[in-house]
C-alpha cells in the first residue's frame, strides 16, 4: 500500500471564490477520500426571519445568493402565498417565469465561463461572459438591477414588462441563440475541452439517486427529473421536458447545461407569446398562519423553501435547502479515484454556491 498523505484544499482555491474546504486523503497523486468542511460564510439569514416583517423578508431572501437571487425571492413568495391562500394573477406568474429563466441563462453562462477558465481556455471564458453581459443588460433594463432583481413581492410582482421590452427580450433571445452556436461547438467538440472533461468524475445513475444529486448533476447521470415539470409558476402552460445525458461525467454535465440554455431561450419566447394581460399583483391582508414546503428548480438544481407562520407579521421559521447542499455528497463521491490536479475541476462541475449553502 502506498503511503497516504492529507492535502488541504481550500477555502482559498484556484477555481472559484467559493470558500469550501476539503481534506484530500491521497495515495501518491490519487484521491482516496475527501472530507468536507463548510461554515466560513454563515450569516444567519434564516434566523433574521423572526426579526423582520414577512413582506420585508423577500428582500433578504433574494440576497441569500447573488446568482439564484430571483429564484430565492420567488420561492419564498410562493411559499408564503400558499400559506395565505393568495391567488397570484397569471401575468405575475408569467413575469416571474420569464425572469427566473433569464437568471438561469445568466447562471449557466457564468458557469461555462468559469469552466473554460478552469481549463485554461481564457478566450472561451471571455466569450461566454461577453454573451452573459447581454442577458445582464436585459435584466437591468426590465427590473432595475443586474443581479438582484427586487421584483418579487408577496402577492405578485412589483414591475411589469412593457410590450416593447417583451419584443426586445424575444429579439435578444434569438441573437443570443445564434451567438451561442460557436461557443457550444467549442465546448462540445473541441479536442482540448473533451480531453479534460470526458470520462472525468463519473457519477452513475444509481449513485446520483443514492447520494441525492439535484439539477444538472442529476440529469447528467440520466435521471429524468426536473421540478419545473410540477408546473409551479407558469410552467404548467409551457412545455418543459428534462434534458438528460447518459454518461454522468463532467462532459455530460457541461452538455446538459448547454442544452438547458437553448431550452431557456425557447421557454422565454414561448412565455412571451402566451403572456396574458391583467394585473400584476393582488393586495395582501393579514399575516400568514400555517406551514408550507415549496420546491422550485433553481439554475443549480432543486431548492426547497419551508415557511411556518404563527399569525403575526414575523414568521416562526424559514428554512432553505439549496442545490449545493444536496450536491456536495455526490461531488465527494466523484472525486474518489481521480487525480489531485482534477479536483478543482470536479468541485466546479457541481456549480457550487457556498453562500447559498451556508445562508
Contacts of 201 (CB under 8 A, 6+ apart): 249, 250, 334, 335, 338, 342, 345, 346, 349
User: By CB under 8 A, how many residues form the interface with another protein?
Assistant: 35
3-state secondary structure of 217: helix
Q: Is 34 in the site for another protein (CB under 8 A)?
A: no
When the beta carbons of 37 and 137 are compared against another protein, the nearer one is 137
Q: How many residues does the chain have?
A: 359
Cβ burial, residue 196 (10 Å; 0-12/13-18/19+): middle
Which of the stretches 11-19, 116-124, 215-223, 333-341 binds another protein when contact is defined by CB under 8 A? 116-124
Give the residue with the Cβ less far from another protein, 5 or 192: 192
User: Which of residues 199 and 231 has its CB atom nearest to another protein in the complex?
Assistant: 199
Distance in Å, CB of 148 to another protein, minimum:
8
Which of 8, 14, 39, 144 forms a contact with another protein (CB under 8 A)? 144
How many CB atoms within 10 Å of residue 63? Answer: 17
At residue 37, what are phi and psi to the nearest 5 degrees? Answer: -145, 135
Toward another protein, which CB reaches closer, 158 or 282?
Answer: 158
- Which one of residues 140, 174, 206, 224 is an interface residue with another protein (CB under 8 A)? 140
Q: How many C-beta neighbours within 10 Å does residue 32 have?
A: 15
Which of 145, 222, 329, 344 is in the footprint of another protein by CB under 8 A?
145
Nearer to another protein, 52 or 319 (CB): 52
Contact between residue 76 and residue 84 where contact means Cβ atoms under 8 Å apart: no
Among 32, 158, 209, 229, binds another protein (CB under 8 A): 158
Which of positions 159-198 make contact with another protein (CB under 8 A)?
159, 182-183, 185-186, 188-191, 194, 198
Q: Contact between 59 and another protein (CB under 8 A)? A: yes
Question: To the nearest whole angstrom, how small is the minimum distance from the Cβ of residue 138 to another protein?
Answer: 10
Site for another protein in 236-295 (CB under 8 A): none
Q: What is the CA radius of gyration of the chain?
A: 21
- Which DSSP string corresponds to 3-48? PEEEEEE-SS-SS-S---EEEEEEETTEEEEEEEE--SS---TTGG
- Whole-angstrom CA distances from 203 to 176, 298, 329, 335 are 31, 21, 11, 10
Binding site for another protein (CB under 8 A): 52-53, 56-57, 59-60, 63, 121, 123-124, 127, 130, 133, 137, 140-145, 148, 150, 158-159, 182-183, 185-186, 188-191, 194, 198-199
Amino acid at each position: 500500500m502506498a503511503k497516504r498523505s492529507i492535502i488541504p484544499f481550500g477555502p482559498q482555491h484556484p477555481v472559484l471564490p467559493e470558500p469550501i474546504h476539503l481534506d484530500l486523503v491521497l495515495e501518491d497523486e490519487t484521491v482516496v477520500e475527501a472530507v468536507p468542511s463548510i461554515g466560513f460564510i454563515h450569516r444567519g439569514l434564516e434566523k433574521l426571519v423572526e426579526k423582520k416583517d414577512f413582506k420585508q423578508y423577500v428582500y433578504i431572501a433574494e440576497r441569500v445568493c447573488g446568482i439564484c437571487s430571483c429564484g430565492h425571492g420567488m420561492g419564498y413568495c410562493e411559499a408564503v402565498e400558499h400559506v395565505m391562500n393568495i391567488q397570484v394573477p397569471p401575468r405575475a406568474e408569467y413575469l416571474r417565469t420569464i425572469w427566473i429563466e433569464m437568471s438561469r441563462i445568466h447562471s449557466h453562462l457564468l458557469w461555462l465561463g468559469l469552466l473554460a477558465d478552469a481549463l485554461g481556455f481564457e478566450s472561451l471564458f471571455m466569450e461566454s461572459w461577453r454573451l452573459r453581459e447581454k442577458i445582464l443588460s436585459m435584466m437591468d433594463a426590465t427590473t432595475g438591477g443586474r443581479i438582484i432583481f427586487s421584483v418579487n413581492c408577496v402577492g405578485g410582482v412589483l414591475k411589469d414588462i412593457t410590450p416593447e421590452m417583451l419584443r426586445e427580450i424575444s429579439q435578444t433571445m434569438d441573437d443570443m441563440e445564434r451567438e451561442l452556436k460557436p461557443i457550444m461547438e467549442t465546448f462540445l467538440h473541441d479536442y482540448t475541452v473533451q480531453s479534460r472533461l470526458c470520462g472525468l468524475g463519473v457519477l452513475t445513475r444509481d449513485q446520483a439517486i443514492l447520494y441525492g444529486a439535484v439539477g444538472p448533476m442529476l440529469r447528467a447521470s440520466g435521471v429524468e427529473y426536473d421540478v419545473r415539470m410540477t408546473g409551479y409558476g407558469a410552467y404548467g402552460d409551457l412545455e418543459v421536458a428534462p434534458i438528460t445525458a447518459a454518461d454522468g461525467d463532467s462532459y455530460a454535465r457541461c452538455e446538459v447545461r448547454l442544452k438547458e440554455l437553448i431550452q431557456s431561450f425557447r421557454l422565454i419566447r414561448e412565455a412571451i407569446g402566451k403572456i396574458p394581460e391583467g394585473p400584476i399583483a393582488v393586495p395582501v391582508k393579514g399575516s400568514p398562519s400555517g406551514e408550507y414546503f415549496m420546491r422550485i428548480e433553481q439554475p443549480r438544481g432543486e431548492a426547497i423553501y419551508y415557511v411556518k407562520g404563527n399569525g403575526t407579521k414575523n414568521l416562526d421559521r424559514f428554512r432553505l435547502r439549496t442545490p449545493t447542499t444536496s450536491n456536495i455528497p455526490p461531488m465527494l463521491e466523484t472525486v474518489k479515484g481521480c487525480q489531485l490536479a482534477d479536483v478543482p475541476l470536479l468541485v466546479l462541475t457541481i456549480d457550487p454556491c457556498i453562500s447559498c449553502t451556508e445562508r
